[in-house]
Amino acid sequence: MLLVHGFAEHSQRYGHVIQVLNDAGFSTAAIDLRGHGSSEGSRGFVAEFSEYLEDIETGCQIAAKHLGEAPLFLLGHSMGGLAVCHYAAQNPEGLAGIILSCPALAFAVQIPGWKRILGEVMSKYIPHLSIPSGVQAQFLSHDTEVVAAYEKDPMIFNAARARWYTETVNTQQAVLESGDYMNVPLLLQLGGDDRIVDSNVSASFYETYRGEDKSLHVYEGFYHEIYNETKREKPLEDLKKWLLNR
């Protein structure tokens, strides 16, 4: 398994997920995307979204080096889910399956047209311009300890860059269109009360997903970080069962 975190966070927040995977017999690698966690790069910036796909490819190569011919799964949360899906659409060979945890296929808050136009202008002329990410920690999980740890984590940041925003929005459209031809086994796990990304768009993507080996789980009342929710045992158990069945 290669695990890919979400925007503004890092891989060290997934120790408990990795433990579940290890206990089920899955060796797991986790990377920090550029501009995140312990990796180099300007925080929250990419010149092109494809740079994240390069990071995933590097992670896959590292995993293959240690695991040899073992089947490879990709797990991505939020923006990591968007990146994993985009990567799998372009590089399906050798993938045993993908798991998307509340993927950022669309944001929950609709951006006014004038702001989108302004963002496109700033992306072109001031690509490093810092803008608030809009992520409110209290809507990540009902677990107050998780929220407190998130707010105190020195490796987490709360701003994005103008170029990152336009690159992400463009990638969202490309990924939504890719469901028509993708055939990689898919597990889609969504929070029923996600305030960060639009779960309805992800559910629509699932309906149009071409592959026959696909599974959808919606956890009613869950916020965005389903693996960090107060009842996290359920999505983690579903993840484990899906993997073991394949």
The whole-number average pLDDT for the span 86-90 is: 97
Dist. CA 163–CA 241, nearest whole Å: 39
Dist. CA 30–CA 87, nearest whole Å: 16
Where would I find the H helices in the chain? 15-23, 50-67, 79-90, 113-125, 144-152, 162-178, 199-208, 233-244
Distance of CA 137 to the CA centre of its chain: 17
- Distances 194 to 94, 109, 138, 235 between C-alpha atoms, Å: 32, 11, 11, 15
pLDDT tens digits, one per residue of 137-146: 999 999 999 9
Q: Break the chain into its structural domains and give their ranges.
A: 2-244
| Predicted model pTM | 0.95
Dist. CA 115–CA 93, nearest whole Å: 39
Dist. CA 13–CA 4, nearest whole Å: 11
User: Quick one: DSSP state of residue 229?
Assistant: S
pLDDT tens digits, one per residue of 145-162: 999 999 999 999 998 899
Mean pLDDT of the chain: 94
- Dmax (CA) of the chain: 50
pLDDT tens digits, one per residue of 167-224: 999 999 999 999 999 999 999 999 999 999 999 999 999 999 999 999 999 999 999 9
Strands 72-77 and 95-101: parallel
What is the phi-psi region of residue 110: left when phi exceeds 0, alpha when psi lies from -120 to 50, beta otherwise?
beta
Pick the CATH number of 2-244 from 3.40.50.300, 3.40.50.1820, 2.60.120.380, 3.40.50.970: 3.40.50.1820
